[in-house]
Structure 1
Amino acid sequence: MFIVGLTGGIATGKSTVCEVFREHGVPIVDADAAARKVVEPGKPAWHKIRNEFGAEVTCNDGTINREKLGDLIFNDVEKRKKLNAFTHPDIYKEMCWQAFKYFFQGHPFIVMDLPLLFETGKMLHYLHKIIVVTCEEDLQLQRLMERSGFTEAKAKLRISAQMSQDRKAEMSNFVIENSSSIQDMRDQTIKIINVLKSSNYHWRLRLILGFCCTVLLAGAFWLRNRNTKQLLPSL
């Protein structure tokens, strides 16, 4: 199984692209979903966030108030770094665990939805291909304001905190330009899905893994026989 990274700026349409992949039977490992899971009340990251940023970043039921926390970190680079240090290790563990489950289910490839793929650089060495979703900047701003109810200034601050769309496109293998119709986005995505499904790269990875497992088992078998012979009494 190989891993495809999906990234793009905020409000460019990554979630909609992921739905198209799901419709075609491709598993999605969602970084945002993993992030919500690791900060559930009582989790280690939850305690660290509450201790660092105070009770005001939690709701009445104890869950993290993502809007208030976002306002804090997007106005302060150091606070953003601290939050990433609290959450990213647990997020990547959760995503890797999901990837292992899909591997043993026999999927040829999975897609990891990684909004900050290039900003953090953590997963780059594990990805076979990278897809970036882009759209026109004015449209991105409009979508974010409509989706989140942000003021223009606040929306621009969120967008500017990420790497530019052009730079992400330069570093990717595939680009889905999502400024037109939903059907146009779907057509672009399906073409990429067909290319990925035609790849035999996952067989190479499975052969390598199978060879490694065979070597390990053979070594364990040899050591067991060697130790057994040493324990047998001499005649």
Structure 2
Amino acid sequence: MRVVGLTGGIASGKSTVVSTILSLNVPVIDCDVLARLVVEPGHSAYKKLAAHFGNEIFQNQEIGQPLDRAKLGSIIFTDASQRRVVNSIIHPAVRDEILKRLLKYWIKGTSLVVIDVPLLLEGELWRIVSEVIVVYCPPEVQLARIQSRDGLTAQEAQARIDSQRPLIEKVDYADHVIYNISDLDTLKNSTLQVMKDIKPNPIWTVLGYFPPFTLLMATWVIVKRHLKGDPRKTVTNGNRSSVSTSAPPKQKKV
């Protein structure tokens, strides 16, 4: 089973990419859904958040009530230290849920699974997937979309963008880049091309039924990522296995 990580940024067009992937009957594990699941009352992550923040982040400011996401968001989008605390609580819980679902797909004989992870890089999950797909759009487009979609001021929208790693840095980690700089049809066609490129060979899918082979391949993926290291420099088109447009973003100074 090939496991691919998909990431992007807020308002980058990733939702359209996910919809296109689902239209191919490729399962997608939505980590936003899992992140909401692990902070429901009674979950260990919920208890850890309560221990750190007290009752102010819960509805009616009462522990035992659902999370007040707007309140928590107002804290972590403006305070990097608090954001790191929340990530250190939620990321491990989400990883556990991902592994449970991957095991189920492997048992079912699924050949390809995409994990939709907004924080694929921040949560270090890029180290355990065979390939990384990044959906990119220019920062000014992100800003305009967030303002229009969420009714935010430019300052509020920029704070949400700044809470994530810049998209240009995420491109550095990519094996495949989908540049969302045109219309929806182009975005969908680019997604289809990338999915065609990463479609696993049926022979490898059959071999994946054998636990020793699966363990060997999983180990190879982790070792390969470790040897590749953490990309801190902008890569060129020649380093990427597939690119969805001939107009990549400007290179970032490092």
TM-score above 0.5: yes
After superposition, the Cα gap between the structure-2 partners of 1:211 and 1:175, relative to the gap in structure 1 and judged at 3 Å, is closer
Residue in structure 1 matched with residue 57 of structure 2 by the alignment? 57
Contact 1:30 1:95 in 2 (8 A): no
Residue in structure 2 matched with residue 47 of structure 1 by the alignment? 47
Measured after TM superposition, the shift of residue 147 of structure 1 is 2.4
* Structure 1 runs, 4 residues or longer, greater than 4 Å off: 210-213
- Please state if 1:3 is matched with 2:6: no
Contact 1:2 1:201 in 2 (8 A): no
- Please state if 1:67 is matched with 2:70: yes
Separation in structure 2 between the aligned mates of residue 120 and residue 212 of structure 1, nearest angstrom = 24
Q: Secondary structure at the match of 1:6?
A: strand
Q: Secondary structure at the match of 2:121?
A: helix
- Please state if 1:92 is matched with 2:95: yes
Q: How does 1:220-231 map to 2 (within 5 A)?
A: none
After superposition, the Cα gap between the structure-2 partners of 1:48 and 1:168, relative to the gap in structure 1 and judged at 3 Å, is same
After superposition, the Cα gap between the structure-2 partners of 1:104 and 1:138, relative to the gap in structure 1 and judged at 3 Å, is same
Separation in structure 2 between the aligned mates of residue 167 and residue 154 of structure 1, nearest angstrom = 22
**Structure 1 regions of 5+ residues with no counterpart?**
214-235
Residue in structure 2 matched with residue 171 of structure 1 by the alignment? 173
Q: Which stretch has the larger CA shift, 51-60 or 35-44?
A: 51-60
Q: TM-score under structure 2 normalisation?
A: 0.77
Measured after TM superposition, the shift of residue 42 of structure 1 is 1.9
After superposition, the Cα gap between the structure-2 partners of 1:28 and 1:207, relative to the gap in structure 1 and judged at 3 Å, is closer
1:188 maps to which of 181, 187, 190: 190
After superposition, the Cα gap between the structure-2 partners of 1:142 and 1:212, relative to the gap in structure 1 and judged at 3 Å, is closer
Q: How does 1:1-235 map to 2 (within 5 A)?
A: 1-60=1-60, 62-121=65-124, 123-199=125-201, 202-203=204-205, 206=208, 209-210=211-212
Separation in structure 2 between the aligned mates of residue 211 and residue 169 of structure 1, nearest angstrom = 31
Larger-Rg structure: 1
Q: Secondary structure at the match of 2:122?
A: helix
* Identical-pair percentage: 35
Residue in structure 2 matched with residue 224 of structure 1 by the alignment? none
Separation in structure 2 between the aligned mates of residue 83 and residue 211 of structure 1, nearest angstrom = 36
Indicate the RMSD between aligned Cα atoms, in angstroms: 2.1
Which structure has more helix as a fraction of its residues? 1
**Structure 2 regions of 5+ residues with no counterpart?**
216-254
- Deviations 1:66-85 (CA, angstroms, capped at 9, x unpaired): 12101111222221121112
Q: In the comparison of the two structures, how many residue pairs are matched? A: 212
Q: TM-score under structure 1 normalisation?
A: 0.83
Residue in structure 1 matched with residue 230 of structure 2 by the alignment? none
Q: Choose between structure 1 and 2 for higher RCO, CA contacts under 8 A separated by at least 6 residues.
A: 1
